[in-house]
């Protein structure tokens, strides 16, 4: 080789080596982003006893929900979501995707019949790591959590709800010395964050179920009275503070996801499990409203719902009907996991991307919260009579219960005091009644 070309060849080789190193570096940066294009993480945030009228993004004016509002403003808000009137049947319906007459009445309040496979178990079987943190409400032991599909859990299931909480993990009840003077939402929040730390490299599902804002109404760690407040008491003046604390925990979660680079590949779904409590008096679009938890009225069942997935969902409001049984198949669609046949729920996942072809024309509720004898909830009676109804966004038709056959225009008659008589129905209302009657006939 001619020596005069040697420096040129050396320079070319050096450039090639340097270019290769740059290519490797760039490739390394791309793969450091957690599973870009892979299965998304899913976090279901469930507020206890937060009715539709409470968060600001729905029109509430009494509470500071700025972090929820920010997520909602950048996600899809569903304005027509209905749960059941109480937490236990709502949670069973959410986990199973089935109406209560199929899977709730056998065991009743505070239990999940593991004969019915949950969507969580299906996610777990498809490679998702799973966790529940917060209020569980459904009894059981470590075998129950395994059968339901949770790898990890830190939950409240009785005892003090907030300060000095009674929480259980896989090792059993957390020691009194550990929980002394601590706040339940701080412990379960830290647990959820630790779960994220341990599972950053694989898809995960977290059922982050807040104790807030369930009774008793008590100060949070941000209130001066927190250390001295009598835990046997309840004071409604703390409801705004409790709502604000829930919102702060949501803000902390978002900061955590952003700091870990997980925010772009994590779907966040937020909802409430039933209407707000009767002692909640909230300003909603200029009107003072009291909650009606436990009742089949609009204020007992209408709950907030939004889905947040930055870079994937076009922000906006969706006025299609959503039934609480729809959550299970929607979560499965989010994870691209095949849905089993026989679910009552209809996935609203396509609607997140503008496909409304499967939108519901009615929702349904079978409500029998205490089908088995119980002495724990005497205000509701030892056994409750079954109640069922179908509804759209304005009208409701009952089948079972003392309102059997009665139809209400609940947007004009929210207390459901004035049933509509057949002879007074307009032609459009008569068609709506036929639609709701057909739904009830086909279901039961």
Indicate the domain borders of the chain: 41-366, 385-443
For residue 382, the model assigns a pLDDT of 63
Q: Identify the CATH number of the domain defined by range 41-366.
A: 3.40.720.10
Single pTM value for the model:
0.90
Which run of H or E residues covers position 390? strand 387-391
Q: What percent of the chain stands above pLDDT 90?
A: 84
Distances (CA, A) of 435 to 204, 360, 390, 420, 424: 40, 12, 9, 16, 17
Is 350 exposed, middle or buried (CB count within 10 Å of its CB: 0-12, 13-18, 19+)?
middle
Taking the C-alpha atoms of residue 130 and residue 309, their distance in angstroms, rounded to an integer, is: 19
Q: Residue 37: what pLDDT?
A: 61
Residue 16 has pLDDT above 70, yes or no: no
Q: If you average pLDDT over each of 72-81, 107-116, 165-174, which comes out highest?
A: 72-81
pLDDT score recorded for residue 379: 52
Token reading at 18: 């340097």
Q: Tens digit of pLDDT for each residue in 256-273? A: 999 999 999 999 999 999
**184-229 tens-digit pLDDT:** 999 999 999 999 999 999 999 999 999 999 999 999 999 999 999 9
**How far is the C-alpha of 49 from the C-alpha of 90, rounded, in Å?**
11
pLDDT at position 375 is 54
In the prediction, which pLDDT does 357 show?
96
Residue of 271, 268, 133 whose CA lies nearest to 193: 133
């Amino acid at each position: 080789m001619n020596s005069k070309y040697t420096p040129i060849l050396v320079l070319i080789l050096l450039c090639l080596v340097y270019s290769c190193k740059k290519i490797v570096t760039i490739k390394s940066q791309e793969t450091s982003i957690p599973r870009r294009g892979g299965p998304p993480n899913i976090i279901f945030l469930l507020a206890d006893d937060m009715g539709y009228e409470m968060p600001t993004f729905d029109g509430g004016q009494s509470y500071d929900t700025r972090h929820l509002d920010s997520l909602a403003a950048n996600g899809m808000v569903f304005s027509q979501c209905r749960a059941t009137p109480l937490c236990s049947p709502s949670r069973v319906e959410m986990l199973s995707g089935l109406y209560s007459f199929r899977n709730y009445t056998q065991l009743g309040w505070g239990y999940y019949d593991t004969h019915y496979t949950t969507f969580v178990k299906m996610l777990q079987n498809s490679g998702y790591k799973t966790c529940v943190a917060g209020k569980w409400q459904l009894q059981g032991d470590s075998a129950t959590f395994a059968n339901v599909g949770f790898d990890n859990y830190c939950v409240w299931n009785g005892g003090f709800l907030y300060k000095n909480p009674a929480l259980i993990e896989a090792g059993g009840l957390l020691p009194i010395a550990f929980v002394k003077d601590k706040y339940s939402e701080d412990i379960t929040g830290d647990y959820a964050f630790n779960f994220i730390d341990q599972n950053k490299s694989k898809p995960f599902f977290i059922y982050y179920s807040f104790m807030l804002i369930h009774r008793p109404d008590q100060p949070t760690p941000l209130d001066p009275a927190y250390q001295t407040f009598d835990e046997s008491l309840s004071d409604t003046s703390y409801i705004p503070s409790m709502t604000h604390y829930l919102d702060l925990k949501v803000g902390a979660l978002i900061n955590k996801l952003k700091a870990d680079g997980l925010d772009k590949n994590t779907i966040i779904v937020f909802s409430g499990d039933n209407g707000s409590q009767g002692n909640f008096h909230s300003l909603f679009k200029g009107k003072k409203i009291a909650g009606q938890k436990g009742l089949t009225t609009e204020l007992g069942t209408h709950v907030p719902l939004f889905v947040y997935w930055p870079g994937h969902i076009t922000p906006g409001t969706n006025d299609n009907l959503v039934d609480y049984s729809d959550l299970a198949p929607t979560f499965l669609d989010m994870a691209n996991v095949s849905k089993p046949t026989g679910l009552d729920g209809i996935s609203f996942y396509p609607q997140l991307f503008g496909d409304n072809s499967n939108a519901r024309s009615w929702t349904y509720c079978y409500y029998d919260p205490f089908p088995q004898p119980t002495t724990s909830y005497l205000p509701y009676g030892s056994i409750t009579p079954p109640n069922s109804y179908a509804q759209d966004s304005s009208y409701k038709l009952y089948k079972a219960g003392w309102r059997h056959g009665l139809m209400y225009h609940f947007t004009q008659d929210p207390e459901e005091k004035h049933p509509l008589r057949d002879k007074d129905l307009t032609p459009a209302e008569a068609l709506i009644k036929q639609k709701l009657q057909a739904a009830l006939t086909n279901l039961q």
